[in-house]
C-alpha cells in the first residue's frame, strides 16, 4: 500500500518539472537569442556563412586591380611623352584630362619593336610586325576621347596589335577586353601587358567580328582595323548608352572613323567623324555579307 501511495507524488513531480522546462523555454525564446548562437559549434558555422555571404555580395566586391606603373618603362622618356601630348594631341584640341594623362603615362616605346623605339613618340604610325601597325598617337587619343570613358567603363577592343590602345584605355576604364586575330601578336601583347602591369586588360586570340559576348554588354567598343561593314555582333554587344568608334571602308579605298551611339532605348545613331587610313580587318568580315546583315 505504501508503494501505491507514492505514485501520485511522482506524477506531480514530473508535471512540475515539465512545467518548469516550458517556462524556461518561453523565457529563452522571448529573449531573442538565436538557437544557433547559443551553441558554440553552431555559432561558428553561422559566422562562416555570414562571412561567405559578405564576400560574395556584389556591392562588397573589392575594386578591380589597376595598372601598377612599377615597370621601369614608366620612368623612361617621360619628357618625350609630355612633349608628344602637348605638341601632337592638345594642339589638336583633345581636352579630356583622363585621356591626356593616359597618353602621358603609357610608355609607347615599350609597345613597338626595338628597331622602332627611336621613333616611338613621333607623329605617325609604326610597323609592329605581321603586317600590322601601331596607330599615330593623335588617332589613339582621338578615338579614346570619343568613347567618353570613366573608371566604371568596360571596354571591348577589336584588334589588339601591340596592346598600346588597350593600355591607354585601361588607364581610365575598369576593364578592357581585347581580341587579336593574328595569334603571335595576341600572345606577345598579352605577355607585354602582363609584364608592364596591366591586370585589368584581358587578351584573346580570335576573330573580333564575333565580339566577346560572354563579357558584354560593353560601355565602349573600339576597332583598330578597317572593316568593310560593321559586324552585327558588335552592335548587339554595345550597351544602351554606349559608344563605339571604328574605321569603316575598303582596304585600298576611302575609310572614315565612324562613331556609333546607342541610346537607352536601344536605338542606334552613326556619323562619320574623320577620314583615316587603317590596316584592313580580316576574318569573317571579309566574307560576303549574309542576308541578315544587308
Catalytic (active-site) positions: 135
| Separation between Cα atoms, residue 71 and residue 40, nearest integer Å | 50
| Separation between Cα atoms, residue 21 and residue 266, nearest integer Å | 66
Beta strand extents in the chain (DSSP E only): 126-129, 132-134, 154-158, 175-180, 201-205, 218-223, 238-249, 255-262, 268-276
| Separation between Cα atoms, residue 221 and residue 247, nearest integer Å | 12
33, 119, 158 from 109: Cα distances, Å: 65, 8, 22
Sequential DSSP letters for 167-236:
HHHHTTSSEEEEEESSHHHHHHHHHHHHHHT-TTEEEEES-GGG--GGG--EEEEEE-SBBSS--HHHHH
The reply to whether omega before 122 is within 30° of 0 (cis) is no
Amino acid at each position: 500500500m505504501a508503494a501505491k501511495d507514492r505514485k501520485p507524488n511522482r506524477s506531480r513531480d514530473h508535471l512540475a518539472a515539465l512545467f518548469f522546462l516550458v517556462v524556461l523555454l518561453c523565457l529563452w525564446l522571448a529573449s531573442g537569442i538565436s538557437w544557433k548562437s547559443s551553441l558554440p559549434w553552431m555559432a561558428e558555422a553561422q559566422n562562416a556563412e555570414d562571412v561567405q555571404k559578405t564576400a560574395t555580395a556584389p556591392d562588397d566586391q573589392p575594386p578591380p586591380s589597376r595598372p601598377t606603373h612599377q615597370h621601369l618603362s614608366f620612368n623612361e622618356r617621360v619628357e618625350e611623352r609630355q612633349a608628344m601630348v602637348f605638341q601632337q594631341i592638345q594642339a589638336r584640341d583633345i581636352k579630356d584630362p583622363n585621356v591626356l594623362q593616359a597618353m602621358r603615362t603609357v610608355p609607347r616605346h615599350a609597345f613597338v619593336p626595338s628597331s622602332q623605339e627611336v621613333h616611338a613618340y613621333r607623329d605617325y604610325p609604326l610597323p609592329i610586325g605581321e603586317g600590322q601597325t601601331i596607330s599615330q598617337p593623335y588617332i589613339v587619343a582621338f578615338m579614346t576621347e570619343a568613347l567618353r570613358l570613366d573608371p566604371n567603363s568596360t571596354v571591348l577592343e577589336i584588334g589588339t596589335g601591340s596592346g598600346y590602345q588597350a593600355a591607354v584605355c585601361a588607364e581610365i576604364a575598369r576593364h578592357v577586353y581585347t581580341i587579336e586575330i593574328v595569334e603571335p601578336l595576341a600572345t606577345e601583347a598579352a605577355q607585354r601587358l602582363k609584364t608592364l602591369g596591366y591586370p585589368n586588360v584581358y587578351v584573346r586570340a580570335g576573330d573580333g567580328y564575333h565580339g566577346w559576348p560572354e563579357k558584354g554588354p560593353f560601355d565602349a567598343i573600339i576597332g583598330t582595323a578597317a572593316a568593310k561593314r560593321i559586324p552585327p555582333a558588335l552592335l548587339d554587344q554595345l550597351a544602351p548608352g554606349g559608344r563605339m568608334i571604328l574605321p569603316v571602308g575598303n582596304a585600298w579605298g576611302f575609310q572614315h572613323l565612324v562613331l556609333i551611339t546607342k541610346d537607352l532605348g536601344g536605338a542606334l545613331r552613326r556619323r562619320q567623324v574623320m577620314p583615316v587610313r587603317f590596316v584592313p580587318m580580316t576574318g569573317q568580315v571579309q566574307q560576303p555579307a549574309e542576308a541578315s546583315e544587308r
